[in-house]
Structure 1
Amino acid sequence: MTRQFNVVVERDAEGFFVATVPGLPGCHTQARSLDQLMERVREAIELYLEVEGEPGGELDFVGVQRVCVEA
């Protein structure tokens, strides 16, 4: 069975790409290139599902917003 997951990709201060899977709490990885990041996030998702099993109720992806606050 093929499953689809939304992945949020960001770049950190050192230039690494960081992937987070919102539908799988704690599932994230990082890499120097986007190609390597996509390989690693697939592996992370597969391992998550192997260890934790299928997630409960799924969320529908709506979008990403940037919010600014005074700090």
Structure 2
Amino acid sequence: MRIGCGVDAPVDLAWFKSSYSGTEGDNCVEVAFGSGAVHVRDSKDRDGGSLAFPPRSWSAFVEFAAQQPIGQG
């Protein structure tokens, strides 16, 4: 499994903000799907790097997170 921490994501990615991110600008996570990886970054620090996960690992995380009560985990 390849997990990249602080990797430079390709510049042509289409980033989108999580639907669970706050509207006040706090706790915002952005995700982009690239070739062979799912990239995740802090929307308040877009130049601070990103994390890259294999698509299967990201899918497993999203499935797990969806089963958790909001505010728990």
Q: TM-score, normalised by structure 2?
A: 0.35
Structure 1 or 2: more strand by fraction = 2
Greater CA radius of gyration, 1 or 2?
1
Structure 1 or 2: more helix by fraction = 1
Q: TM-score, normalised by structure 1?
A: 0.36
